[in-house]
Chain A
C-alpha cells in the first residue's frame, strides 16, 4: 500500500509495524506528532503497547531502560533539548546493552531558542555508544526505523534514527507501507530482547565495577558497536530481499571517477545530488557521498569511496565551536588513516533550519575547485554580511 505520509508518520507507522510493546516519550517540537500518533494507536488498540506518559525525556529514557531490561521491545522519540536532557541515560542504556530504538527529529540547540532543523543535537551524542542512522526521505525513515529494531536486537546496542526537523518530519511524501507479515519476517515475528531482569532468575545488573573489570565491559561494548557495521549491512540486505529497497551504509552517487566529492547527510543530500547531476551534464567530474550510517562510522567504506578523489568538501549542518564540523573530523580520520588521501574542506550551512539552496552547493564547489587558497579550516555558507 502506498500512502502520503510525513516523516513523523513514517516513524509511528514503523513502530506500530514493529509491534513495539512499551513507549515512553515526552513532547518536543518537531517530534511531538510521533508521540501523539503512537498514543492514538495505543488507545485505539491498533498497537498493543503500554504508553507511559512521563514528565521528561530523562524519565522517558529511564522508563524504556527499565522496560527493555525485562525483555520487551521499546521505543522513544525526541529532539534537540530533549535529547540533550537524556544524555546521561544515553550512556547508561548503551552500557547496559539494551536494544532500545529512538527517533531523533534533528533540531538546533539553544541558546538562542530555535525549533528548526540542524544536526548538532544528535552529532553531539556521537560518543554515547548509540548507533546513528541519518535519513533523506520519508520512505527511508520508515524503512530505517524497522531495520533499527533488527540491528539493535542483534548487537544488543541502542539505535537512533535521525530525520531533519520539518524538512522531513512535517513534509508528506508518497511512502510504500510494508505488509505486517513482511515486517514480522524481518523482525522475527515477535519481541526477542533478553529478559535481564527476571524474578525467576535473579541477577544484579550494572553494579559498581572496579578498574579490574570495567575495561572489559567497555571493550565488549566497543566491539559490539564496531561489529554493528557488518550486522547493519546484513540487515539491509535482508530488508532489500523482502521489500526490494536497498540501503547501503554509505551512499555513493557518481563517485567512481569524481575528482571532487561532496559529502552530505540527511535531506541536504537531495540538494547536493541535484547540483551534482547538473554539473555532470556539463561534463564536470563531481560526485556525492551521503553519510547514512554515522555510528558505527564506516571507516573502510568511506576511505574506499573518497580515496580516488582529489578533493572532498563536507557539508555540515552542525558545528563544534572551538573545533571544526563533526562530519569533517570523522571523514578526515577515515580518509587519512592509511596515508595519502584527498584534500578535505569543511563547510557549515543550514544551521537552525536556514535553507540550503543549490546556489550554496555551487558556491562550495566553485570555492574548492578554483578558490581553495581563500578557504579556511571551517567555511560558512549562506552567512549574512
Chain B
C-alpha cells in the first residue's frame, strides 16, 4: 500500500482545505475532507448538500476550501454533481474529479434515490459519505446509519435505536459500480489509497468514511481518532473494498477487541445493559463472519 501521510504536510498554504473552519473540536468530517482533497491533489470540485459540511467550510464570505465548492439542497448531492460533471467535461476539462460530499443523512436517507440513479448511470464521479451516524447538523437525530441501540434525540433513553445500521456498501455494490469502499479517519494511508484508487477508476465510485462526531456521540474530542481505530479493531466498522460489485477485498483484523471497548468511550451507548452490549457483539460477529465468507481476498 502506498504510504502518503497527508498529516505530514505542515504547509497550510498548500492545503486544499485550510485551517480556521467552523467544525466542533475533534470533528471527523474535517479530517476526512483534508485526506480526500490531498489524495486528489486538490484537483476537485466539491458538491455539498445540507449537512454539517455546509457550515464547516465557512459562512459567506469566508471559505476554507481552495477548490470550487457548490452548495446544493439536501437530497441532491449526486444529481447536482452529475450536472457539474457533464458541464466540466463539455467545457473540455477531462481531469478534475467531481466529488459529492454528503453526510449519512444525505446519503443513506434523503439522497439515496438520486444517488442510486446517478450510479446506475455510472456517472464518472466520486461520492463520499462522511458517516457520523446521525443528523448532526440539526442536533443529533437518528438516520438509517445510526447503529443499533444508540442514543439520539429521536431515539431517546427507553426507546433506543431498534434497527441496525443500514449497509450502504452492500447497496452501492449491488449497483455493480466499479468501486465502493469503507474507510475511516484513523487509517489515513488506507483512506488516501482508496481515494486515489477511486480517482483512477472511470465511472461511479463510492467511499463511506466513518467520521466520529464528539458532539453527537458524546465522546471526548481528543479521542476521535482512537474511537475511529477501535471501530475497525472491534469489527464494528470493517475496512473493505468492492470492485465491480463483485470482488471483495477485506482488511483482516486477526485479534479483534470486544465491542464494549469501542462503545464505552461514547456517551451515546452509556447505560446499556450487559445483555444489550452482548446483542451488539452478536450482530457485529455475524456481520464480520458474513464478510469474511464473501471476501475474495483478505489482506
- Residue of B whose beta carbon sits closest to that of A58: B75
CB-based nearest A residue for B116:
A55
Cα of A24 to Cα of B93 in the assembled complex, Å: 20
A323–B150 alpha-carbon span in the complex (Å)? 48
Cα distance, A63 to B85, chains bound together (Å): 9
A204 to B56, CA, bound (A): 12
Q: Which of B68-100 contact A (CB under 8 A)?
A: 68-73, 75-76, 78-88, 90-91, 93, 96
Is B197 close to A, CB under 8 A?
Answer: no
CA distance A205 to B61 in the complex (A): 10
Query: B96–A207 contact, CB under 8 A?
Result: no
Contact of B70 among A55, A195, A206, A213 (CB under 8 A): A206
B203 to chain A, nearest CB (A): 15
**Cross-chain contact of A52 among B67, B83, B88, B116 (Cβ < 8 A):** B83
A22 close to B83 (CB less than 8 A): yes
Closest chain B CB from A82 CB (angstroms): 14
Q: Are A66 and B91 interface neighbours, CB within 8 A?
A: no
CB-based contact B71/A67 at 8 Å = no
**Contact indicator B71/A207 (Cβ below 8 Å):** yes
Task: Report the Cα distance A88→B49, complex, angstroms.
Answer: 13
A50 touches B117 (CB 8 A): no
A54 to B118, CA, bound (A): 7
- CB-based nearest A residue for B69: A204
Give the complex CA separation of A355 and B160 in angstroms.
57
Q: Is the CB of B87 within 8 A of A197?
A: yes
Q: Is B63 positioned at the interface, with any CB of A under 8 Å from its CB?
A: yes
Q: Which residue on B lies nearest to A204, using beta carbons?
A: B63
Q: CB-nearest residue of chain B relative to A193?
A: B87
Complex CA–CA separation, A53 to B90 (angstroms): 17
User: Which of B85, B91, B93, B121 has the most A CB atoms < 10 Å from its CB?
Assistant: B91
Query: Which of these binds chain B: A68-76, A241-249, A276-284, A290-298?
Result: A68-76
Q: Scan A45-56; emit 1 where CB is below 8 A from any B CB, else 0.
A: 000001011111
B154 contacts chain A at the CB level, 8 A cutoff: no
A64 proximal to B (CB < 8 A): yes
Q: Report A-chain residues with C-beta under 8 Å of the C-beta of B68.
A: 197-199, 202-205
B180 contacts the other chain (Cβ, under 8 Å)?
no
Taking a contact as CB atoms closer than 8 A, the residue among B63, B81, B90 that contacts A21 in the complex is B90
Give the A interface residue count (CB, 8 A). Answer: 41
| Max chain B Cβ within 10 angstroms of own Cβ: one of A68, A74, A197 | A197
Q: Are A202 and B114 interface neighbours, CB within 8 A? A: no
Q: Does A210 contact B (CB under 8 A)?
A: yes
B90 to chain A, nearest CB (A): 5
B65: shortest Cβ distance to chain A, in Å? 6
- From A59, A62, A68, A206, B71 is in contact (CB under 8 Å) with A206
Total residues of chain B contacting the partner, CB 8 A: 46
Residues of B within 8 A of A65 (CB): 72, 76, 80, 83
B91 touches A71 (CB 8 A): yes
Determine whether A208 belongs to the interface, using a CB cutoff of 8 Å to chain B.
yes
Interface residues of B in 13-45 (CB under 8 A from A): 43-45
In angstroms, Cα B88 to Cα A22, docked, is 11
Q: Is B54 an interface position by the 8 A CB rule?
A: yes
Does chain A have a CB within 8 A of B153?
A: no
Of B55, B78, B81, B121, which is within 8 A of A208 by CB? B55
Choose among A56, A66, A92 the residue with the greatest number of B CB atoms under 10 Å from its CB.
A66
The reply on A135 being an interface residue by CB < 8 A is no
**In the complex, what distance in Å separates the CA atom of A22 from the CA atom of B85?**
11
Query: Least Cβ distance of B268 to chain A in Å?
Result: 26
Q: Does B59 contact A (CB under 8 A)?
A: yes
Complex CA–CA separation, A50 to B123 (angstroms): 12
Assuming the contacts A59-B79, A67-B87, A92-B73, asked whether A204 and B117 have C-beta atoms less than 8 A apart, the reply is: no
> What B residues does A70 contact at CB under 8 A?
83-84, 87-88, 90-91
Complex contacts, A24 vs chain B, CB 8 Å: 79, 83
| B57 contact from A60, A195, A207, Cβ within 8 A | A207
Shortest Cβ gap from A197 to chain B (Å): 5
How far apart are B15's CB and chain A's nearest CB, in angstroms? 13
Query: Does B202 interact with chain A (Cβ within 8 Å)?
Result: no
The answer to whether B59 touches A62, judged by C-beta atoms less than 8 angstroms apart, is no
**A55-B114, A62-B73 given; 9 more Cβ-contact pairs under 8 Å:** A21-B90, A54-B114, A62-B72, A63-B82, A65-B72, A71-B91, A88-B73, A89-B76, A202-B66
Q: List 29 A-B contacts (CB under 8 A).
A: A50-B90, A56-B117, A59-B78, A59-B113, A62-B72, A62-B73, A66-B72, A66-B85, A68-B87, A69-B70, A70-B88, A71-B87, A72-B86, A197-B68, A198-B68, A199-B45, A199-B96, A203-B68, A204-B57, A204-B58, A204-B63, A205-B70, A205-B71, A206-B70, A207-B59, A207-B62, A207-B63, A207-B69, A207-B71
Interface residues of B (CB under 8 A from A): 43-45, 47, 54-55, 57-63, 65-73, 75-76, 78-88, 90-91, 93, 96, 113-114, 116-118, 120-121
